[in-house]
A and B are shown apart, each in its own frame.
Chain A
Amino acid sequence: MQQEAPGSAVISLLVDNESGALARIVGLFSGRGYNIRSLTVAPVDEHGKQSRVNIVTTGSLADIRQIKAQVERLVPVSRVADLTADGPHVAREMAMIKVVSSGEPRTEALRIAQAFRARAVDTTASSFVFELTGSTDKLDSFIELMRPLGLVEVSRTGVAAICRGPQTIQSL
């Protein structure tokens, strides 16, 4: 295949919530040499019988098409959408960021957190845990800014995504 510049894509799946379903998906990615940059999974229907998986992956357009086609073959996968290709979508992730510092760096961290609308969900005399929701880019820049200010630990959820407007993963 002709190689275009590798790009990032958000692939969303609806899968039967059965044992091994996630291993099947993840195994397909590792077995075929595809990259998983982030992965989120949780049941989304009222009976907990279907889960939604959001995978951020990278590759050329042809790679992404191939990934989608391969995932579509899996028996427990009932729906696959390449949200990046299929139209406008919203993609968000959440992070908890722990900063341990005092004096000027501590006040600076709090100031930047306010600018980013991050919430301090845990506060001690020497530490903060900030909770921040937003695009991957926004989280990345916040974490970069915290690095010199006492950043010690980061926990990120990975991306949850949904298409804009009235259409759904089922109607795409």
Chain B
Amino acid sequence: MGSLKMRPSPSMGEQDKMTPQTASSAPDAQKPQTLPGAEVLMRALDEQGVEVIFGYPGGAVLPIYDALFKQNRIRHVLVRHEQAAVHAAEAYARSTGKVGVVLVTSGPGATNAVTGLLDALMDSIPLVCLSGQVPSSLIGNDAFQEADTTGITRPVTKYNYLVRRPEDLAPAVHEAFTIARSGRPGPVLIDLPKNITVGDAPYLAASQTPMRVAKGTAEPDREAVKRAVAAMKKARRPLFYTGGGVINAGPKACENLRKLVKLTGFPITSTLMGFGAYPGNDKQYLGMLGMHGMYEANLATHGCDVLIALGSRFDDRVTGRVDAFSPDSFKIHADIDASQINKIIPVDQPIVGDAGRIIEMMIEEWEKEPAYAHQADLAAWWEQIEAWRALDCLRFSQDQAPDAVIKPQQAIRRIYELARETGRDTYVSTEVGQHQMWAAQFFRFDDPNRWLTSGGLGTMGYGLPAAVGAQIAHPEALVLDIAGEASTLMNIQELGTIAQYRLPVKLFIINNHYMGMVRQWQELLHGSRYSESYSDALPDFVKLAESFHAKGLRATRMEELDDTIRAALNHDGPVVVDLCVTEGENCFPMIPSGAAHNEMILGPDQEERGAKVTREGMMLV
């Protein structure tokens, strides 16, 4: 994605690229065709390769919906809430590498989209959100369904537009797509007053639209890569730490990452956003690092002497206590966004640029002098890592009796294993909480773009609409949402969308009757005072499913677990599975807030060790 470059502007200082380019000012261009604004919009979307829009109609976007009705190239998916439209578009984008497109009306339509836009911004997902606006003449008058949409969405988008003149319409769309997918991808919003979509506007093709210089598309500094590789050659205890930036860099970047990791023989750990960039079941892969990361991944991070961060941003869920993070390592940080360098952790060798390009250059530099002098040290490092791995940090004890209560870990592990047995291409979305972390621990991905989760923002209610987006993009694939009963209720209305489009999504609700992660923190930090974290008055999820024309299944005992999961996976249609699990289970391992990686708390089945939470730690989230 980062390889997509905008055309450079002729010179700095002549940046007025959004002004109208009429035929007279661009002598070689043909006189632009004039069409109603909504049709100009459709044409521009079509030119940008848009196939699907996730949206919800309303007064201010009626002209756009009318234009949609009159064409058949772009498909519209009607969601049941605008937040869901954005999450669905995020998953569509994440699972295809394309830009996701959202269409919402003015006022509440736009404000409902805000959470999704911020979610996309935090996780670097390319989106274009089109919002209706009251006619220009009414802006500022507190008109019906008016909101200061560009004002409200400014901090939650990479960029936004209010189209004030008809001649700005097509150029805004073209530039929005370029901004959304170039450099560090993100959401872009275009606010469209109704007079702009109703009135006539000139159509300008992307090639006729001069655009601003894209940020973050410069070639990485070869010398910086050389210094990084020189440090890697000297490493005795190296570790790759890769993130979502590699996924955003595209399938070729992921392929090259595999090549680089094999070439070096180094261990690799991944952030939550980076799953599948490197095969999850490969021996060199240590699993996720961070707060609920693998014991071996976190101790390797703590103990390594060269840390190679690729497309990852040292998020606080990853670092734990910042001043104790990987204390003795030489840190290489490759990121497309220069503002991520030295933001949280001071690094020794920054490289700004596209992760894919940097990995390519690293391979070239490594191969120039393939000798690596520290094989013996690396072997000893691997021995140490294997010893950590042997602790089996995800171990839990499940009573195997037929009538035993199912543990959430058991449920999630079996969903993974049984889904894998189907041999189908599988996309997995999650909600946010304990189930998300267990899914992150137990699910291992062979390929990128298959794992859809809300990482940076931690948005409960993400998973079900994300499953909609993934299934729309991949109609033949198996799409699972690993959910908690509390999270999934936040966007449960999307069962309606699932029914309407006959999407065979499998919603697995890990039902422990608690906001599990809240409950866990209350147990560990607040004296087991479970303030407002009990999921009271839950619906009957089986009947709920049936009322939305889906299949409803339930398992409460061990003997029912596998059969229920299999029945769900084999059903040719949408399924909601209510998996009733033990209530008080905690997600381990865990780095308590304010602690370092070598102070992890392990589960009750491992020997007791780790840090107690300090008062300072309690203040962290």
Which A residues fall within an 8 A CB radius of B? Answer: 1-2, 14, 16-20, 23-24, 27-28, 31, 45, 47, 49-50, 62, 65-66, 69-70, 72-73, 75-76, 78-79, 170
* Chain B residue nearest in CB terms to A79: B12
A75:B179 contact, CB within 8 angstroms: yes
Complex interface: chain A residues within 8 A of B346 (CB): 1-2, 62
Q: Mark B151-176 against chain A: 1 for CB-CB distance below 8 A, else 0.
A: 10011001110101000000000000
A2 to B342, CA, bound (A): 11
In-complex Cβ contact of A23 among B14, B154, B338 (8 A): B154
Contact A73 B154, CB 8 Å, known A18-B18, A45-B13, A78-B15: no
Bound-state Cα–Cα, A2 to B344, Å: 10
* B339 lies within 8 A of A16 (CB): no
List the interface of chain B (C-beta within 8 A of A): 12-16, 18-19, 150-151, 154-155, 158-160, 162, 164, 179, 184, 212-213, 215, 337-339, 341-344, 346
Are the CB atoms of B12 and A78 closer together than 8 Å? yes
What are 28 of the A-B contact pairs (CB < 8 Å)? A14-B13, A16-B15, A18-B18, A20-B151, A23-B154, A24-B154, A27-B154, A28-B155, A49-B19, A50-B15, A50-B16, A62-B346, A66-B339, A66-B343, A69-B343, A72-B339, A73-B184, A73-B337, A73-B338, A75-B158, A75-B159, A75-B215, A76-B212, A78-B12, A78-B212, A79-B12, A170-B12, A170-B13
Contact A47 B16 (CB under 8 A): yes
Which residues of B sit under 8 angstroms from A19, Cβ to Cβ? Answer: 162, 164
Q: A73-B337, A78-B12 are in contact. Are A62 and B159 (CB under 8 A)?
A: no
A65 to chain B: which residues have CB within 8 Å?
342
A28 partner residues in chain B, CB cutoff 8 A: 155
- Nearest chain A CB to B348 CB, angstrom units: 14
Task: Write the nearest CB–CB distance from A131 to chain B, whole angstroms.
Answer: 32
Closest to A67 in B: B339
Question: Chain A: which residue is nearest B159 at the CB level?
Answer: A75
Taking a contact as CB atoms closer than 8 A, the residue among B16, B154, B162, B339 that contacts A70 in the complex is B339
Across-interface contacts of B19 in A (CB, < 8 A): 49
Output the least CB separation between A77 and chain B (Å): 9
A6 to chain B, nearest CB (A): 17
Nearest residue (CB) in A for B344 is A1
B13 close to A78 (CB less than 8 A): yes
Residue pair A20, B154 in contact (C-beta under 8 Å): yes
- Listed residue (B12, B19, B179) with the most chain A CB atoms within 10 angstroms of its CB: B12
| Complex Cα spacing A170 to B447, Å | 44
Which 10 A-B pairs give the minimum distances between C-beta atoms? A69-B339, A49-B16, A75-B159, A70-B339, A78-B15, A16-B15, A69-B338, A31-B155, A27-B155, A73-B339
Could you tell me if B215 and A72 are in contact, using CB atoms closer than 8 angstroms? Answer: yes
CB-CB under 8 A from A31, the residues of chain B are 155
Q: How far is the CA of A69 from the CA of B344 in the complex (A)?
A: 13
- Residues in B whose Cβ lies below 8 Å from that of A170: 12-13
Partner of A69, one of B16, B162, B213, B341: B341
Q: Which residues of B contact A1 (CB under 8 A)?
A: 342, 344, 346
Contacts of B162 on A, CB cut-off 8 Å? 19-20
A49 touches B15 (CB 8 A): yes
Chain B neighbourhood of A70, CB < 8 A: 339
A50 CA / B162 CA spacing, docked (Å): 19
Nearest chain A residue, comparing its CB with the CB of B346: A1
Alpha-carbon gap, A100 to B591, bound state (A): 64
Measured in the bound complex, the distance between the Cα atoms of B24 and A79 in whole Å is 30
Say which residue of A16, A23, A69 sits within 8 Å of B151 (CB atoms).
A23
**A49–B18 Cα gap in the complex (Å)?**
11
Residues on A with C-beta less than 8 A from B341 are: 69
Q: Chain B: which residue is nearest A24 at the CB level?
A: B154
Roughly how many angstroms separate A1 CA and B319 CA in the complex, as a whole number?
13
CB pair B212 A75 closer than 8 Å: yes
B342 touches A66 (CB 8 A): yes
Q: Tell me the nearest residue of chain B to A1, going by C-beta.
A: B346
Q: Which residue of A lies closest to B19 (CB)?
A: A49
Q: How many angstroms from the CA of A79 to the CA of B13 in the assembled complex? A: 9
Whether the pair A62, B342 counts as a contact (CB closer than 8 A) is yes
Give the chain B neighbours of A50 by CB distance below 8 A: 13, 15-16
Q: How far is the CA of A50 from the CA of B213 in the complex (A)?
A: 15
How far, in Å, is A36 (CB) from chain B's closest CB? 16
The residues of A that contact B151 with a CB separation of less than 8 Å are 20, 23
Contacts of B16 in A (CB 8 A): 16-17, 47, 49-50
A-chain residues with CB within 8 Å of residue B154 when the two chains form the complex: 20, 23-24, 27
A72 to B215, CA, bound (A): 8
Complex: how many Å from CA A43 to CA B341?
Answer: 32
- A contact residues around B159 at 8 Å (CB): 75
Give the distance in Å from the alpha carbon of A78 to the alpha carbon of B212 in the complex: 9
Residues of B within 8 A of A45 (CB): 13
Residue from B158, B338, B344 within 8 A of A72 (CB atoms) = B338
Distance between A169 CB and nearest chain B CB, rounded to angstroms: 10
Residue of B with least CB distance to A68:
B339
Q: Which residues of A contact B338 (CB under 8 A)?
A: 69, 72-73
